[in-house]
Amino acid sequence: MGRMRRKSDLPVKTCVACGLPFAWRKKWERDWDSVKYCSERCRRSKA
Q: Who contacts 38 (Cβ-Cβ below 8 Å, separation ≥6)?
A: 15, 17, 18, 20, 22
pLDDT one-digit tens code per residue, 2-24:
677 787 789 999 999 999 999 99
Of all residues in the chain, the percent with pLDDT exceeding 70 is 94
Q: Are strands 12-14 and 21-23 parallel, antiparallel or unpaired?
A: antiparallel
Residue 43 and residue 37 in contact, taking contact as beta carbons nearer than 8 Å? yes
The span from the CA of 14 to the CA of 4, in Å, is 24
Q: Who contacts 5 (Cβ-Cβ below 8 Å, separation ≥6)?
A: none
pTM exceeding the 0.85 threshold for the entire prediction: no
